[in-house]
Chains A and B, each alone.
Chain A
């Protein structure tokens, strides 16, 4: 028995190390590169020992002769993504609550219709929006992109939150109704707090999806309203590929998501399983 426990220990350790190396090494390389000077990056043999610098980050916030500053794009991303995610969470949770608590004719069809939104390739949505926004002057505006981001987060939010609400006993609502509270109060004060964990998981994933969104931003933004993914892509189109700065951009772009993810670690799995696991 002892030897088999030892073999198991070795096996587990080995697989764990391989998996972590496989999935995290590239990210470590990126983080390391972000702190390298130009000379340390352009070496034929990868350098693991070097003098770290924060010049790449400074370049992003100040700008260089070959690269526009990225402060605006970072601000834009934070603003667009936070606003749209918060609004989508509110609107989507409200709809999910309606779906969860009321039985009405055609309910299942409506829920399926919501899910079916995910079958539409982004390009089908964004091209008509490009034409529409161009004609009404919404192209390149914060409002235009935020509206689209709210819409693309909604199916996910509704789907997730409904599964969380379904798990909350209906007696909670019923008791609150008999206490004399209005439906809206019940939703805000009685049900939403109980669904807190699910709400946070849903928030995390909506944020991640919108934070990394590329296609809509590529087509609908102008340099003033570039989001970070667009700014990163555009920093490539210069005489020389600025690996250090791009890596620094990458590090900056994953920071808010990583912070949220580690803070909400407990709810991470729940968010990913998307109700696939009950």
Chain B
């Protein structure tokens, strides 16, 4: 177990992708998640850390060792591949045993370790079958076993380990993986394109886009304080609602004016004072919105806003309800964590709290507050 430090790594991957000055630290015993849309650069970082790709410039340290120019096998890292890369000509036992055989362990030791991990991963019954005959979930477990069987590794890299599974198995594997991770307690670098997976698993989250690190921090911090519109839209359970508008001053009051509504945000004066009379984008997370069916009483507290609209559509997803509220011509998504039925077209009021609104500079996309 050791700390991974990536310092100013730059690498050109052809015209579509260049990793630019990537710097981050993966703390010992923690799970650090690289999150980006496809082709955002996470696989490249994994391969560079694993030693499969060379850096153009920059350094990679593992513990107190500079591993930038080492061969993969000298780095003491283990990796699970997105495409799994199981050896099709070998059976499951031989696949899992491969890292142990490279260490020239005695055969009895190899058998013990393979059987132990196979038990833990619940694939003992498949040991003497070829990967081609396994189900998707079983193959995933074999690949994970092969990555974890090498127990002398300082770092475990998992490049989109759950991506190729269908949604149901993915959710259950995710839960299982979280338990497993607590159990083995190792330094892990975990790449995924799925924000829900990232939020669920990460001790530390690194959000990438187009080869650059956009934001890093704990999942809670990034969820609460997305640095820009991209992070706010991408990192979340449902896409955030974005409403164009501008901030104006009316006498003593500061007003956020959109073509849907106007609200007073004088309490945010300190945060928005540099943006008065400029265009902004309002962000409202669906899970922080509520739908109220009865006309609300006069606002008791200035911090709660009610906007009138009508129900355009709703979907019940398991124990949640997604309500689409139409205000003027824009549709706002609301996530309610209960089952509610609506008549289409009825009047409702959208309720949200002043502290839950995000304001972005319309031009740069950066978070104002």
Contacts and interface: CB of A to CB of B under 8 A. Distances in A.
A and B touch in the complex (CB under 8 A): yes
Interface of A: 169, 171-172, 174-181, 185, 190, 193-194, 196
B85 to A, nearest CB: 4
B85 A180 contact: no
B117 to A, nearest CB: 14
Contact of B85 (A175, A181, A185): A175
Given A171-B81, A174-B52, A175-B79, A180 B103 contact: yes
A171 B71 CA distance: 16
A171 B46 CA distance: 13
27 contacts: A169-B83, A171-B81, A171-B83, A171-B84, A171-B85, A172-B85, A174-B47, A174-B50, A174-B52, A174-B79, A174-B85, A175-B81, A175-B86, A175-B146, A177-B52, A177-B71, A177-B73, A178-B77, A178-B78, A178-B99, A179-B73, A179-B99, A179-B101, A179-B150, A180-B102, A180-B150, A196-B89
Contacts of A169: 83, 85
B89 A178 contact: no
A174 B44 CA distance: 13
A179 B98 contact: yes
Interface in B56-87: 71-73, 77-79, 81, 83-87
Nearest to B79: A178
Interface residues of B, number: 25
Given A180-B99, A196-B89, 4 more contacts: A174-B81, A175-B146, A177-B51, A180-B150
A139 B20 CA distance: 62
A176 B73 CA distance: 9
- Majority secondary structure of chain A interface residues (helix, strand, loop or mixed): helix
A179 B87 CA distance: 12
A181 B87 CA distance: 13
B136 interface: no
Nearest to A176: B98
A267 B87 CA distance: 22
Contacts of A193: 89
Centre residue among A177, A178, A190 by max chain B CB count within 10 A: A178
Contact of A178 (B73, B87, B88, B101): B73
Nearest to A171: B85
A174 B81 CA distance: 9
A178 B72 contact: yes
A46 B73 CA distance: 72
A177 B83 contact: no
Contacts of B87: 172, 175-176, 190, 194
A179 B89 contact: no
A23 to B, nearest CB: 36
A97 B73 CA distance: 20
A177 B85 contact: no
A179 B145 CA distance: 12
Nearest to A196: B89
Nearest to B82: A171
A196 B88 CA distance: 12
Contacts of B73: 177-181
Interface in B291-315: none
A123 B80 CA distance: 54
B89 A181 contact: no
Contacts of B150: 179-180
B72 to A, nearest CB: 5
Given A174-B81, A175-B79, A175-B81, A181 B102 contact: yes
B81 to A, nearest CB: 5
B85 A179 contact: no
A169 B71 CA distance: 20
A103 to B, nearest CB: 11
A174 to B, nearest CB: 5
Contacts of A178: 50-52, 72-73, 77-79, 99
